[in-house]
Structure 1
Amino acid sequence: MEVLRPGDPSEIGGYRLLGRLGEGGMGEVFLARTVSGRPLALKTVHRDLSLQAGFAERFDREIRTSDRVRGAWTVSVVDFSAPGAAPQWLATEYVAAPSLADWVHRHGPLPVPALRCLARELAAALVTVQAAGVVHRDIKPANVLLGRERPFLIDFGIARGVGDARYTQTGAVIGTPGYLAPEQATGAVALAEADVFSLAAVLVYAATGRGPFLGAGEEVQLPALLYRIVHDEPRLDGVPQDLAVLVGECLAKDPAERPTAAELHQCLTADTAGQGVGEWAAVVPAALVEDVARREGELARLLTSPPALPSPPVRVSGVASVPADASAASFPPLPSTPPAPAVAVVSGAGWVSGRGRVWAAAGAVAVLAVLAAFPLRLLMDGDRDGRGDGGAPTQAAPASASASASASASASGAVVLPASWVGAWSGTGPGTPDADGITRARTGAFSVTVTLNAAAVGEVVGRQVSEVRELVTGRDLGCTEALELRQVRQDSAVFVAVTSHPTDRAATFECPRGNLYVLTMTQPGRVALESEGAQSAGAPEVLTRRN
């Protein structure tokens, strides 16, 4: 990963950029994060491409096609730009791991046990892709990440639905030279069999450090390479003999002669059953384990660095856009686990987002899940994190006291929260009663109560209590946060949570601190949640003033 260059934006689409992951013909790839702590790979599209006629439609189609693929070996689409945004972008889950191309280039071919395990895992990934009715069409070493627990197949940027042949341009070579199937090299329509061919070519690279149609250290021009793919037999010297037979079948010129992904996976599973090939983490080189640990450590440091102040709203095609990174949906870690960066994907209401999503835990057995998202945890009283009698939220300061405090602050030249904001605000959302209970908790009514007092920028101004019950266990998954006023705009205010704890004092999880939030007053007595968390599943979209 590289540091950001002079002139790079500090955020795109409301997500703060942390560094550069790469660039290519389509655009640039950045490491980004939500304030709630989830790392993202954010890919931008070159402006000249985005201006091409029909590109927006194709871009949207690619995203929807990619989003159909969900499995343990693929990364999910998280968010993407609104129509007309500049630049157009796509954010996916980020895996802190080297690519197969990078690893083999630096360290040489994989050891045989790791190679066989890689073959089996990638075949399983391809089964998942094809079960979703998708053809990847660009399987190559650079699109395989060697993660800690398993390899990942990434970058469905030129993927197509199996039934979308009308969108494939006959005569156009689409994919990466050296790993293309013959039908791709000649510009024919590429179906699922093309991915099997490309996967086999990737395995040859993993075993030998070169593609199946190149000699060691050889470089050839593109026309010659495409000719070899179409007419020559693959070079499989250096591939373990038993694996070479199966790889050779996958590299057949005729797509009909290749095994399906399911057949390939079945053969690899049977072939490795008696060879002591264990789980991925047990067979990868120790140096790879160390490399991943180093990358994860670097990522953790970047994610815990102090968040930047939110950028002012920008206008995209006449629509006001509030950066989503101006606030956070917090997620306490699962019981019995140490505090960890929250895992969340939510979208802002102030800008048109492609999707809004909340990940939540159903209980301690859901190891990879996290607890439900809570959009704004702001309330407080005089001791910055205290509670009123019986645990009830402290009431707002009387109007006369608020007016006096505001007048005093104004007289000193300080920027103060307008008097129209002072008071108690509340709202109730439906929760997520129909969630699967694994990737998202099944919850009932989701209530948020915010109390704001008169204060100047830099002072503690209020607190908020979220209450949301998990239907299975009855646990309250909400958090309470103290709020400091950070910035006042014409009709919105920015706050930072300075303390945080579970609303249920008996709860064992922890709530993170330091989240930034943006509230916008859309009309007197009505406040919209316009930043990250505003459209969280089941949360209230607006808060109204309580009498």
Structure 2
Amino acid sequence: MTAAPGPDHTLRASDPVQIGPYRLLGRLGSGGMGRVYLGRSMTGQLAAVKVLHDQLAEDQLFRSRFVRELDVASRISGRFSAAVLGSSGLRDEHLWLATEYVPGPSVLEAVEASGPLDTETVLALCLGLLGALETIHSAGVIHRDLKPSNVLLAADGPRVIDFGISAAVDTTRLTATNVAVGTPGYMSPELIRGGTEVGPSSDVFALGCTLAFAATGVSPFVGANAVETAFRVIREDPDLTGLPEEIASLVEPCLQKEPERRPSIDALIKTLPAAETDRISRLLAHGQWLPAHIQRQTLEHEGRALAWDGARQSSPQTVLQDWPLPTDDDTRSLFAPRAATPDEAQPTDPSTVVLNGSAPVPAPLALPAPPSLGTFGPPPGSGPPYVPGTTDRDEPEPGPMDEVSMRTHTALLPADTPPLPRIPRRGWLRWVPAFRGKVRK
């Protein structure tokens, strides 16, 4: 499962609206064990909510194991691992897990979009993953499914997700349809064989495979199918063609077939020279470890999550599209006169016009101009107030009453306008009760 925004983000009618304390906003991805949603709590906490498939929830052995594993995983609070915020109980209808939402592409998405990562970025990724595994193993948890899609590239460092789930699946030996225990290209030989003694060295093997993929874009044990890939993991040497020497010195010891021959997390941290480790750790500490194109992807994920939240609040089934904002040229073009196209023939007859490229229609008849009623100025008193005792006034001295000097609010009536009809006078006292009957009619 992945926790980065994908193309299929719209919630469906079959998707739940609320899981635990989280209101679901959109889909983040899906995998063999379930579906991942973006959720927001009432306190404003964004979370990647992973809802497992129903066949997993119906298995009581898996359910009890899942709750125990997540109880341990919830105590992991390292910087390079996504913190567990909550999970379902034994009696909940859906089996779910909520971890902190990390905006940013996974290693798999970044490599598929832009090619292998540069050496400096891979070294920083290695230090971050070593710190995450150190925290996870100190809590007594084995990840069992460390792979490029389970490592997110955040601005302040990589994040490992989905620890604890694979442990529960592997322990219960589920054989249900569409349930993947792991990814063959990143599983250790002892995990593929199904051995009971699976320890921290299994995650070290997966770390070497993940770093090799980040630096070359290809898994070191890639095969035509899952069976061939698993056979190569158990029997054949890894293909490290194109791997930089600095990365190869870290990856080769991790890919040993025997678990006891693989280095520990602490030994891997000390493999790099002290000066190189100090420089890379400084880039991680200050959020300068990612190249510019991946930083842009991280910002896009942050903006997309905010857009999903607004769309989900208005309508659960709203399909959000990325419409470009209008530029100044686009705005000006809305009000600019449209130029005639060659298909729009200009009318030769002045009595016809063309509307929107249609057939010519007769032009409207011109109405006669109304008679001129004179020119009138502003109403009196519209200028600045007059101060007594001063002689400098803006208003001119009163002149003869002509239509130019006279100022009025209404138009002058022509001289031949007939007078208004006379309304007969009626005494109003006749309607007063005290004078009723006493006033002459």
Fold conserved (TM > 0.5)?
yes
Aligned residue identity for 1:99? S
Distance 1:126 1:271 in 2: 23
**Counterpart for residue 94 of structure 2:** 87
The alignment covers a number of residue pairs equal to 303
User: Within the alignment, does 1:290 sit opposite 2:284 as a pair?
Assistant: no
Q: Provide closer, same or farther for how the CA distance between residues 43 and 170 of structure 1 changes in structure 2, counting only shifts above 3 A.
A: closer
Aligned residue identity for 1:48? Q
Distance 1:206 1:12 in 2: 34
**Counterpart for residue 198 of structure 1:** 206
**Counterpart for residue 19 of structure 2:** 12
Q: Where in structure 2 are the equivalents of 1:297-316 lying within 5 Å?
A: 297-303=303-309, 307=313
Q: Provide closer, same or farther for how the CA distance between residues 37 and 205 of structure 1 changes in structure 2, counting only shifts above 3 A.
A: same
Q: Where in structure 2 are the equivalents of 1:101-180 lying within 5 Å?
A: 101-160=108-167, 167=171, 174-180=181-187
TM-score, normalization by structure 1: 0.52
Q: CA deviation at 1:103?
A: 0.9
Distance 2:298 2:244 in 1: 27
Distance 1:129 1:276 in 2: 22
- Contact 1:178-1:225 at 8 Å conserved across structures: yes
2:263 equivalent among 259, 265, 280:
259
**Counterpart for residue 514 of structure 1:** none
Distance 2:306 2:92 in 1: 30
Distance 1:306 1:136 in 2: 33
CA deviations over 1:218-273 (Å, ceiling 9, x no partner): x5122211111011111112211132022101111111111001111222363724
- Contact 2:73-2:163 at 8 Å conserved across structures: yes
Q: Provide closer, same or farther for how the CA distance between residues 300 and 106 of structure 1 changes in structure 2, counting only shifts above 3 A.
A: same
Q: Where in structure 2 are the equivalents of 1:19-98 lying within 5 Å?
A: 19-98=26-105
Q: CA deviation at 1:147?
A: 0.3
Q: Secondary structure at the match of 1:134?
A: coil
Structure showing the higher helix proportion among its residues? 2
Structure showing the higher strand proportion among its residues? 1
CA deviations over 1:166-217 (Å, ceiling 9, x no partner): x475999942110011111111131110000100100000001111112xxx
- Contact 2:37-2:50 at 8 Å conserved across structures: yes
- Contact 1:173-1:187 at 8 Å conserved across structures: no
Q: Secondary structure at the match of 1:249?
A: helix
2:226 equivalent among 222, 229, 237:
222
Aligned residue identity for 1:97? G
- Contact 1:120-1:269 at 8 Å conserved across structures: no
Q: Secondary structure at the match of 1:43?
A: strand
**Counterpart for residue 268 of structure 1:** 272
Distance 1:173 1:104 in 2: 23
- Aligned-residue CA RMSD (Å): 2.8
Distance 1:242 1:115 in 2: 10
Q: CA deviation at 1:304?
A: 5.9
**Counterpart for residue 472 of structure 1:** none
- Contact 2:67-2:88 at 8 Å conserved across structures: no
Q: Provide closer, same or farther for how the CA distance between residues 53 and 7 of structure 1 changes in structure 2, counting only shifts above 3 A.
A: closer
Q: CA deviation at 1:307?
A: 5.0
**Counterpart for residue 221 of structure 2:** 213
Q: CA deviation at 1:302?
A: 3.9
Q: Provide closer, same or farther for how the CA distance between residues 195 and 269 of structure 1 changes in structure 2, counting only shifts above 3 A.
A: farther
Distance 1:204 1:177 in 2: 15
Distance 1:86 1:269 in 2: 52
Q: CA deviation at 1:84?
A: 2.1
Distance 1:5 1:213 in 2: 37
Bigger mean CA offset, 143-152 vs 183-192? 183-192
Aligned residue identity for 2:116? P
Distance 2:163 2:30 in 1: 16
Q: Secondary structure at the match of 1:282?
A: coil
Q: Provide closer, same or farther for how the CA distance between residues 241 and 54 of structure 1 changes in structure 2, counting only shifts above 3 A.
A: same
- Contact 2:104-2:297 at 8 Å conserved across structures: yes
Q: CA deviation at 1:35?
A: 2.2
Distance 1:90 1:59 in 2: 10
Bigger mean CA offset, 195-204 vs 43-52? 43-52
- Contact 2:56-2:63 at 8 Å conserved across structures: no
Aligned residue identity for 1:198? A
Q: Where in structure 2 are the equivalents of 1:131-530 lying within 5 Å?
A: 131-160=138-167, 167=171, 174-189=181-196, 190-214=198-222, 219-268=223-272, 270=274, 272-273=276-277, 278-280=282-284, 281-303=287-309, 307=313
Percentage identity across aligned positions? 37
Q: CA deviation at 1:156?
A: 1.2
- Contact 2:124-2:280 at 8 Å conserved across structures: no
Aligned residue identity for 1:205? F
Larger gyration radius, structure 1 or structure 2: 2
Distance 1:38 1:302 in 2: 15
Q: Secondary structure at the match of 1:72?
A: coil
**Counterpart for residue 357 of structure 2:** none
Q: Provide closer, same or farther for how the CA distance between residues 231 and 65 of structure 1 changes in structure 2, counting only shifts above 3 A.
A: same
Distance 1:110 1:277 in 2: 17
- Contact 1:173-1:185 at 8 Å conserved across structures: no
Q: Provide closer, same or farther for how the CA distance between residues 277 and 136 of structure 1 changes in structure 2, counting only shifts above 3 A.
A: closer
Which consecutive unaligned segments of at least 5 residues does structure 1 have?
A: 310-547
Distance 1:241 1:275 in 2: 18
Aligned residue identity for 2:269? H
Distance 2:112 2:72 in 1: 31
Q: CA deviation at 1:115?
A: 0.9
User: Within the alignment, does 1:100 sit opposite 2:107 as a pair?
Assistant: yes
Aligned residue identity for 1:265? I
Q: Provide closer, same or farther for how the CA distance between residues 227 and 10 of structure 1 changes in structure 2, counting only shifts above 3 A.
A: same
> Which aligned segments of 4 or more residues in structure 1 are displaced greater than 6 angstroms?
170-173, 274-277
CA deviations over 1:122-170 (Å, ceiling 9, x no partner): 1111111111121111000000000011000110143549xxx9x4759
Aligned residue identity for 2:189? P
Distance 1:88 1:277 in 2: 38
Aligned residue identity for 2:304? E
- Contact 1:180-1:198 at 8 Å conserved across structures: yes
Distance 1:87 1:249 in 2: 41
